[in-house]
Amino acid sequence: MSNTGAQHFLASSNPLNPDKAKQEFASAVGANARADFALSVKHGMIRHNKGTPQQQASALLAKARIVALKRKYADAEYLLRQALELDDKNRLIYAALGEILEMMNKPKKAVLAHIDALRLDPSNSQSLSYIGTYLMRLDQDEEAINYFDAAVKFDPSNATALARLIYLRRHNCDWTDLTTRDKKVQLFKKTRVAIDPFALLTLDDDPALQKIASQKTAGMQNTGIEEVEFERPRAEGRKIRIGYFSNDFFDHATMFLMGRQLELHDRSRFEIYVYDYGIVNTHDGRQRAEDAADVYRQVADKQNDEIAAIARQDGLDIAIDLKGYTKGNRINAFNSRLAPVQVTFLGYPGTTGVGQIDYMVADPVTIPERYRKHYSEKILYMPDCYQPNDDRRVASPDRPSRTEVGLPEDAFVFCSFNSVYKISPDEFDIWMKLLKLVPGSVLWFYATREEAKTNILKEAKKRGVSKEQIVFAGFANQEDHLARLPLADVFLDTFAVNAHTTASDALWAGVPVVTKVGKQFAARVAASLLHTVSLEELAVSTPQQYQALALKLARDPEYLADVKARVKQGIETGPLYDTVKFTRNFEALMEKTLERFNAGLKPDHISLT
């Protein structure tokens, strides 16, 4: 079903009255025909008269839950549909059916079940939350916000709905929910339910909270899965087989960073497999991944257990997850083991909480020894920065002038090119103070949604800054973005989730990055990048130091010129863009993980020094 169709389906002004929408949506999916005689016999469902129909239905619901824990989802679906024949007024049965259908990767049918549940109890927070989640997955954010908002109003303790509501609103720079942030963080810490780890990253710089959320999510996805055991030794007498798993093999930040790494792997020692579960596309990034791989597999149409079986048949030695909890991930495919050694790398700036993932690639800045306890994985320490970069990247030769991008020619230009969901009032307060303290300055602000632009101008006005001092930048392809970046004077970073790819872009273009070092991985990435180009002084510890440093750069032209010269030197002579060195170090760490496995040793923290 198209996004437009889905929006029409649930575009009611009142999210609590979806009957008309349900009828339209029902026509898009086929009827369920699972009630065959074999399942009836298997589950003892030959009709009997023990108890009222409602009591019999409740018994079937209880049995379905037990069956579902064993991951026998088709059987559970059958039991629940039989229960509904006995009692079609039981909201819990519809809700359970919706959950089972989600686990079976049948989202269209799942949402119909949740709508039936909502019809029976229009104020039920869980049903509203499920529908909102479905819409969020279809990128129908505005409609999803309506449902999550209603879910939270009916049940303020619905932590899942609240986390997703805050996350989606932040994409519009709507900070309504952040006025009582501390109270909400306490709710997330105390709740027993699994909350999207990615949604929590920007809310609180707390690696302990991240680990709890990731482990709860991983545990929910791991029910009933048996781990495959691999015999030792592996990879002896042949090349080491590394498999990369992602749906970001297109013109995406992941490929901008690691495309060159894939190409530079030592083919005398390694065979590279790419498992692409993303939508088939014609992007240069996807073609680059296919060309770089010894074996490229498009597995978007495969279920997780099928992907796992293919990986095992390929005889992988090391399976590398590039997604974590970012959108469209298949991280639960790693639960039953795709390879003897499993690693998470690059795509998600935090722990996965997945017990079967042995290692996480980091560096001494992103995960210092004192913070290791917040990560379920053992740490593979790259000697420089954990982040790969492309030594062959180029900027467009058509470099715009400030006037062409809407900037005043003689202004001091602060810029923010982070995704807007990362921005909070904490940083924005400082940015607005800087605009007032530096005459003639502007903030060059990346935003693509009109709602975000409107809200940012409102927030600026609240802080006494005119709309003339905010200049919006829209989307540009990678080469054009690199060409426009040098028009900025200073890049202002966000706190809980730093600039990652955008920070290395800015440094490559010669623009100093001012950052505040936090606790969680996501809040320490920019500091790692700056360390790698020998500019640690631009990574400070407090908001006050952050403001003072940005102000010094704006007011002291000689200091700014010196810093820019050192940025350029750090890029040209330092290791950040030495892709060959990065790849060799990465390969050395991978070899060490296999050495431990072949020796019968458990995973442990590994460094090359």
Give per-residue pLDDT as tens, 156-206: 999 999 999 999 999 999 999 998 999 999 999 999 899 999 999 999 999
d(CA 17, CA 20): 8
DSSP assignments along 300-368, one per residue: TTS-HHHHHHHHHHHT-SEEEES-TTSTT--GGGGGG-SSSEEEE-SS-SS----TT--EEEE-TTTS-
Enclosing H/E stretch for 85: helix 73-86
Res 30 pLDDT > 80: no
Instruction: Output phi, psi for 34, to 5 deg.
Output: -95, -10
Give per-residue pLDDT as tens, 235-265: 888 999 999 999 999 999 999 999 999 999 9
Question: Quick one: average pLDDT of 437-444?
Answer: 98
Res 6 pLDDT > 50: no
Q: DSSP letter at 245?
A: E
d(CA 331, CA 246): 9
With b for 16 or more beta-carbon neighbours within 10 A and e for fewer, the 558-575 pattern comes to eebeebbebbeebbeebb
Give per-residue pLDDT as tens, 299-330: 999 988 899 999 999 999 999 999 999 999 99
Confidence category of residue 103, pLDDT binned at 50, 70, 90: confident
Of 217, 113, 208, the C-alpha closest to 163 is 217
DSSP assignments along 446-482, one per residue: E---HHHHHHHHHHHHHTT--GGGEEEE----HHHHH
**Contact (Cβ atoms closer than 8 angstroms) between residue 278 and residue 245:** no
Res 3 pLDDT > 60: no
Report residue 406 CA to chain centroid gap. 32
Give per-residue pLDDT as tens, 469-502: 999 999 999 999 999 999 999 999 999 999 999 9
Q: Report the pLDDT value the prediction gives residue 25, as an integer from 0 to 100.
A: 42
Average pLDDT, the chain: 91
Q: DSSP letter at 371?
A: G
Instruction: Give me the domains of the chain, ranges plus CATH numbers.
Output: 3-155 (1.25.40.10), 162-204+212-224 (no CATH), 240-391+588-607 (3.40.50.11380), 403-573 (3.40.50.2000)
Give per-residue pLDDT as tens, 258-302: 999 999 999 999 999 999 999 999 999 999 999 999 999 999 999
Instruction: Kindly state the tokens that stand for 57.
Output: 């239905």
d(CA 277, CA 328): 9
DSSP assignments along 529-548, one per residue: HHHHTT-GGGEESSHHHHHH
Q: Which residue has the tokens 């997780």?
A: 304
Instruction: Kindly state the tokens that stand for 235.
Output: 């990879």
The upper half-sphere exposure of residue 74, i.e. CA atoms within 13 Å in the direction of its Cβ, equals 8
Please give the model's pTM, rounded to 2 decimal places.
0.89
Q: DSSP letter at 265?
A: S
The mean-pLDDT minimum among 16-25, 531-540, 558-567 falls in 16-25
